Amino acid sequence: MSPELVIPADLLPRDGRFGSGPSRVRDAQVQAIVDSQPRILGTSHRQAPVKDLVGAVRAGLSAFYSLPDGYEVILGNGGSTSFWDAATFSLVERRAQHCAFGEFGAKFAKATASAPFLEDSDVIEAPAGDIAVPRPSEGIDVYAWPHNETSTGAMAPAVRPDGIGDALTVIDGTSAAGGLTLDVTQADVYYFAPQKSFGSDGGLWLALVSPAAIERIGRIAASDRWIPATLDLATALENSRANQTLNTPAVATLVMMAEQLRWLNENGGMAFATGRTSESARRIYQWADAAEYAETFVTRTSARSSVVATVDLLPSVDSSVLRTILRRQGVVDIDPYRKLGRNQIRVGMFPAVDPDDVSALTSSIDWIVERLRT
């Protein structure tokens, strides 16, 4: 192979970060951290400056999602993975149904399936690259699925199924939030973390919760179920209403998140964000459909994600060689999900990613492949 290949500078993306999380951080977010010194950084999270920052994040999300009356924004420590445990304790009354069509959907299914106080979970599976949708069924009180399966690049409808009574829809928006359109009334709980479309660091979870979810959280908290304090959504709700968290949050992450929300909302909110992601998606899938050595992994067109694209490569183009050449020139993190084990690239196209950089990425790949094959 030709690891010496040097891509011409004018072909390269201006910013080479295409990770699916952590993802590209804008300069203004780093500047916001600098600007928060010394008024916010290094100060108590129980005092007004940090509480106002938490308030700004909550208000920014309410505006971005045009939250209907009665919905609230709650947050806590531990990222989306911790939220699965919190939801297992505080949202599922007896039995959950999960759609699992990749790593993340399957992980939440595993969390409820192993809870000794719940009935066996109902898991609807689909092969990687496709999607599964919820199936209304007797005795299910939580329907859970990922809006965007980050491990495979497949997106699913965020639509409340008909005929589920007072069961809750609990949707994993970790990689979708901020980059895919959402009618929030379809979700009772829409949860995510700051390190994907919001271009911040990991470690927090955030959730938009409906009145029905708030009622469920209160009812389970009042029952005799033991719930660890860090995973108790009733405690998170109470703290969030006071712009607080149970224990110390990562303040710099909140600063970056508030800045990203300001940027998104001032430029047109969800329409702006989804305009950028769908334009990036249009470009990458058009390229993959045209390139004779590449093929879009997700065959069902409506399930092709606008925030995480997965593209298979012919065996004659080794993804790891390609990625090594790109990485040397600062174009990073287009690795496929480890466990998928495919000769693939996976490209994060969150709103901070300039669609022109997606085009520059595909041009750079074409340039490399042409030389690798001669």
Binding positions for ligand PLP, rule: CB under 6 A: 21, 79-81, 104, 146, 150, 172, 174-175, 193, 202
What is the rounded distance in angstroms from the CA atom of residue 122 to the CA atom of residue 110? 11
Minimum distance of ligand PLP from residue 193's CB (angstroms): 4
Minimum distance of ligand PLP from residue 132's CB (angstroms): 14
Q: Which of 82, 363 has the CB closer to ligand PLP?
A: 82
What is the rounded distance in angstroms from the CA atom of residue 317 to the CA atom of residue 322? 8
Minimum distance of ligand PLP from residue 5's CB (angstroms): 32
Minimum distance of ligand PLP from residue 174's CB (angstroms): 3
Q: Which of 7, 256 has the CB closer to ligand PLP?
A: 256
What DSSP character marks residue 332? B
Q: Which of 7, 304 has the CB closer to ligand PLP?
A: 304
Nearest residue to 362 (alpha-carbon basis) of 282, 305, 302:
282
Q: Which of 199, 365 has the CB closer to ligand PLP?
A: 199
Minimum distance of ligand PLP from residue 146's CB (angstroms): 5
What is the rounded distance in angstroms from the CA atom of residue 109 to the CA atom of residue 172? 12
Minimum distance of ligand PLP from residue 318's CB (angstroms): 26
Minimum distance of ligand PLP from residue 17's CB (angstroms): 16
Q: Which of 71, 104 has the CB closer to ligand PLP?
A: 104
- Rg of the chain over all Cα atoms, to the nearest angstrom: 21
Question: Encoding tokens for residue 179?
Answer: 């980059």
Q: Please report, as a single letter, which amino acid is at residue 266.
A: E
Decide if 101 contacts 130 (C-beta within 8 A).
Answer: yes
What is the rounded distance in angstroms from the CA atom of residue 327 to the CA atom of residue 353? 17
Task: State how far the alpha carbon of 209 is from the alpha carbons of 197, 232, 237, 254, in Å.
Answer: 19, 14, 9, 20
Question: Encoding tokens for residue 206?
Answer: 């955030």
C-beta nearest to ligand PLP: residue: 79
Using a 10 angstrom Cβ sphere, with 0-12 exposed, 13-18 middle and 19 or more buried, the burial of residue 284 is buried
Q: Which of 12, 345 has the CB closer to ligand PLP?
A: 345
Q: Which of 21, 60 has the CB closer to ligand PLP?
A: 21
E strands present in 126-250 = 142-146, 148-149, 154-155, 168-172, 189-192, 204-209
